[in-house]
């Protein structure tokens, strides 16, 4: 019997793929939900869809190549038409927390170059306000202890992410500090405050970036929410 959570994630991915048109340049996200988008795009490519893509992680790059999706670099393009990615939390204004998989800096670079940014999630990721999920902050390994101290002054308890008792390294060779702020009342302000700290590469708050969020529910339904400008 197939995992119901997996089915929900596939459902959201299928809806997102409907936005893709022939000739587009795509951004490919990272994580369990984005995985299904990559697989679905790969199937479309086998059926004749012509696209090219940039992936947000080494893992997604490998998956895309295996799926037959042509990969390019930023040296070859000046924008991305559509990016499909997941999120760890989505609030009512479509602000996001991302970085649970450790690819937040690459994900934000790709998102910033994207004309139409689609976020796909299952219903559990929808929250009234961000903050239950600890905010990932990508930092330089050198002096990370001092960076952590400065972050703590903003009202969080930073925890160095580790794997097998060794610091987790992002694809960029950086550390990740998971910062539990609790409910984030002013995400845009916190984003600026965190990024102003020397040693911080970027953080997992994605403010006013998502154009559309597609949320899939266990009952098989989907909900599409578009960002309201202004």
Sequence-distant (≥ 6) Cβ neighbours of residue 88 within 8 angstroms: 96, 97, 98, 99, 100, 125, 133, 204
Q: Any bridge partners for residue 83, and if so which?
A: 27, 117
| Pairing label, strands 89-90, 96-97 | antiparallel
Contact 201, 151 (CB under 8 A): no
Does the active-site annotation cover 107?
yes
Rounded to the nearest 5 degrees, what angle is found at the Cα of 34, between the Cα atoms of 95 and 4?
100
| Pairing label, strands 205-206, 200-203 | unpaired
Q: Which of 107, 123, 183, 192 is catalytic?
A: 107
Phi, psi of 192 (to 5 degrees): -65, -40
Sheet holding 222-226, edge to edge: 52-55, 25-28, 80-85, 114-122, 212-216, 222-226
Closest C-alpha among 212, 215, 226 to residue 11:
215
| Catalytic residue annotation | 107
């Amino acid at each position: 019997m197939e995992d119901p959570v997996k089915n929900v994630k596939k459902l959201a991915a299928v809806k997102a793929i409907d936005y893709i048109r022939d000739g587009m340049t795509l951004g490919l996200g990272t994580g369990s939900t984005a995985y299904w988008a990559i697989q679905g795009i790969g199937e479309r490519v086998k059926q004749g869809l012509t696209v090219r893509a940039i992936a947000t992680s080494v893992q997604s790059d490998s998956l895309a190549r295996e799926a037959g999706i042509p990969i390019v670099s930023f040296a070859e393009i000046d924008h991305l038409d559509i990016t499909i990615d997941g999120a760890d939390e989505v609030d009512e204004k479509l602000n996001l927390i991302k970085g649970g998989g450790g690819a937040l800096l690459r994900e934000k670079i790709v998102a910033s170059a994207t004309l139409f940014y689609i976020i796909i999630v299952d219903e559990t990721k929808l929250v009234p306000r961000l903050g239950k999920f600890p905010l990932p902050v990508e930092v330089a390994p050198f002096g990370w202890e001092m960076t952590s101290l400065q972050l703590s002054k903003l009202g969080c308890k930073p925890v160095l992410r580790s794997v097998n008792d060794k610091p987790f390294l992002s694809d960029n060779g950086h550390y990740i500090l998971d910062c539990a702020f609790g409910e984030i009342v002013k995400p845009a302000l916190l984003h600026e405050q965190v990024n102003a700290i020397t040693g911080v590469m970027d953080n997992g708050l994605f403010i006013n970036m998502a154009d559309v969020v597609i949320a899939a529910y266990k009952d098989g339904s989907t909900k599409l929410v578009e960002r309201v400008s202004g």
